[in-house]
């Protein structure tokens, strides 16, 4: 299954990959936690949580934009506190 990795979107961009394997780390009725092994087109492998990638490119772009806006807000906040 194809996935677009957003974990490194701010530093390396969105990475296209294939999900190779999935492990259920914690499986109870309240919380299901899984890890995913993904391999990019250049052969790099990543172990990711479900919030580190998207299943379609448009969602990945939207998530990367949200990450960018959050980072900008964080940097502005740090700058304001540094100036005070």
pTM value? 0.84
pLDDT digits (tens, 9 = 90+) for 29-57: 666 678 999 999 999 999 999 899 999 99
Domain boundaries, the chain: 2-83
Average pLDDT of the chain is: 92
CA–CA separation, 26 and 30 (whole Å):
10
């Amino acid at each position: 299954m194809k996935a677009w990795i957003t974990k490194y979107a701010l530093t390396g961009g969105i990475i296209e990959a294939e999900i190779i394997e999935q492990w259920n780390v914690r499986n109870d009725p309240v919380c299901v936690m899984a890890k995913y092994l993904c391999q990019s087109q250049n052969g790099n492998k990543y172990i990711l949580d479900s919030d580190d990638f998207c299943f379609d490119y448009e969602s990945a772009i939207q998530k990367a934009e949200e990450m960018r806006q959050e980072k900008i807000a964080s940097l502005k906040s740090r700058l304001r506190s540094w100036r005070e």
